[in-house]
Amino acid sequence: MWIAPWGASLWTGNRTTELAMRMRFDVITLFPELFEAFKVSGVIRRAFESGQVDLRCWNPRDHAAGPYRRVDDRPFGGGPGMVMLAQPLADCLAAIRQDRGQDRTQAPLVLFSPAGQRLNHAMVETWSASAGGILLCGRYEGIDQRFIDAEVDHQISLGDFVVSGGEIAAMALLDAVARLQPGVLSDEASALEDSFHPHLNGLLDCPHYTRPEVWGDASVPPVLLSGNHAEIDKWRRQQRLQITLRQRPDLMDQAVQEGGLSPAELAWIRGQQD
């Protein structure tokens, strides 16, 4: 179960105007320019333009000593690659905390790492109702473990693979959080139909179609053209069940365990598994 690494007093089940106004994410990254286009692209730009999500980037190189502003060095014990130095990160973090006027209980430090808990919708919802935090994007072979032990409050992973830096993972979290802010999506109800959402019992979403009615040799399912909204809702629910059972049986098992499916749906699932 996802447990917020900050005090429970920072949010309740209901989002408040104060928290929405105060949501701030500080990103520690050697490549802050990567976030410039991110902030002004797509629907999530509304979250940044409105100030609902305050995003600030900090380069640890600005806090490194010496003429070369070095932020990495060779690993003790030998081996390939370089390791990010602890001190520039510690000084950068201290500058962020001073600028925020908050300690680590109010602004947790998150490291994107293969060792972290895999990001999921429940975690995103928790972050979307929080006051934000500090996101650390690692590079090279990793970060000096002493800094991780001393300062990192939580580690998050996108999955069982490795990318060249934490920036992609940070953008994924920020995008997911930003789109849940009020007014960011043109139709806020559309978020309720997203895959993994509790409104769908955590199932995958159904297929979607648009014009033309016939494309190549493929036609739109007739039920979607019927105008019968009850039948359309029934078809979409059946599609979600079928796709989830086929593609992500683990999600189906979870939905069954949580008791969100009807007796008829449970009977259908048992029939598919026999």
Tokens of 13: 């089940």
Q: Catalytic: which of 125, 139, 167, 179?
A: 179
Which one is catalytic: 114, 198, 207, 221? Answer: 114
**CA separation for the pair 186, 189 (Å, rounded):** 9
Q: Choose the catalytic residue: 54, 175, 194, 205.
A: 194
> What residues form DSSP beta bridges with 135?
27, 110
Number of residues that make up the chain: 274
Per annotation, catalytic residue among 54, 91, 141, 153: 141
User: Which residue in 140, 132, 152, 34 sits closest to 89, CA to CA?
Assistant: 152
Distance CA 230, CA 236 (A): 10
Please, what is the Cα angle at 71 between 68 and 77, to 5 degrees?
120
For 208, other C-beta atoms within 10 Å of its C-beta total: 9
Query: Which of the 8 DSSP states describes residue 181?
Result: S
Annotated catalytic, 179?
Answer: yes
- The alpha-helical segments, DSSP class H, found in the chain are 17-22, 34-39, 45-49, 86-100, 121-128, 145-151, 167-178, 229-247, 249-257, 263-273
- The answer for residues whose C-beta is within 8 angstroms of residue 70's C-beta and 6 or more apart is 64, 85
Least Cα distance to 62 among 101, 93, 103 occurs for 93
Asked if 194 is an active-site residue, the reply is yes
Active site residues: 114, 141, 179, 194
